Amino acid sequence: MLQGKSAIITGGVRGIGKAIAAEFCKNGADVLLCYRSNDEQAQKTAAELSQHGTRVELLKGDVADPKTAKEAVARAKDLFGKVDILVNNAGITRDKLLMRMSAEDFTDVISANLNGSFYFLSEASKVMIKQRSGRIINLSSVAGVKGNPAQVNYSASKAGVIGMTMSAAKELGRRGITVNAIAPGFIDTDMTAVMTDDQKAKIAEAISLGRTGKPEDIAKTALFLASDSASYITGQTICVDGGLTM
């Protein structure tokens, strides 16, 4: 589905980002994976994904720094000759009740999740406009659709991603570029691994399908949006949540 395509994936060495990268590589794409700190995990992921026969490159940097986006896009263009797909996946949480949330807790999450997505969107779109083609996929969250207690910062950042997605889709559509968002529900990742089985069971009760999701559920949606099969879809937010937001 993605033979000959190239992709930049932020937060691409573990969790949902890694699952998306694996799906892309299995389907023929070369990938540049951006990560912030875990060198050992990054090397391990790159080695695993390289077994699919496509190029897997790494770039270390903080998405909250606009220089990282500039470097990533320049490197991808140098390595692959083009930038076909951008997946804005990197994000952080600083969960606290509103009365205990500091200004730093709020701005750190906005800087990484919203500002970081903007920096990469801005840089990648410049290349895609010249190519007159591209696929941009932003990771939002059901927290950005319906809010969540103790996540004022995270919900605000992910709601912002949805608004940014729609505005960018309107600007870039006539240049052959689609911009869509995925809003995952409760997905089994490292972030949720610390929760008890009882806590997970209570959450599953609120999900229509009666179970939590897997990173692969998000990855397959990203693959669809990155492919030619989704060429007439733009400005949309797809909730992959098992019915949690219904």
167 assigned binding-site residue? no
14 assigned binding-site residue? yes
210 assigned binding-site residue? no
158 assigned binding-site residue? yes
Is 154 marked active-site?
yes
20 assigned binding-site residue? no
9 assigned binding-site residue? no
Whole-number Å distance between alpha carbons of 165 and 168: 5
89 assigned binding-site residue? yes
154 assigned binding-site residue? yes
* Crossing angle of helices 39-50 and 15-26, rounded to 10°: 20
Going by the annotation, the residues of the binding site for NADP(+) are 11-14, 89, 154-158, 187
Going by the annotation, the residues of the binding site are 11-14, 89, 154-158, 187
> Catalytic residue positions?
154
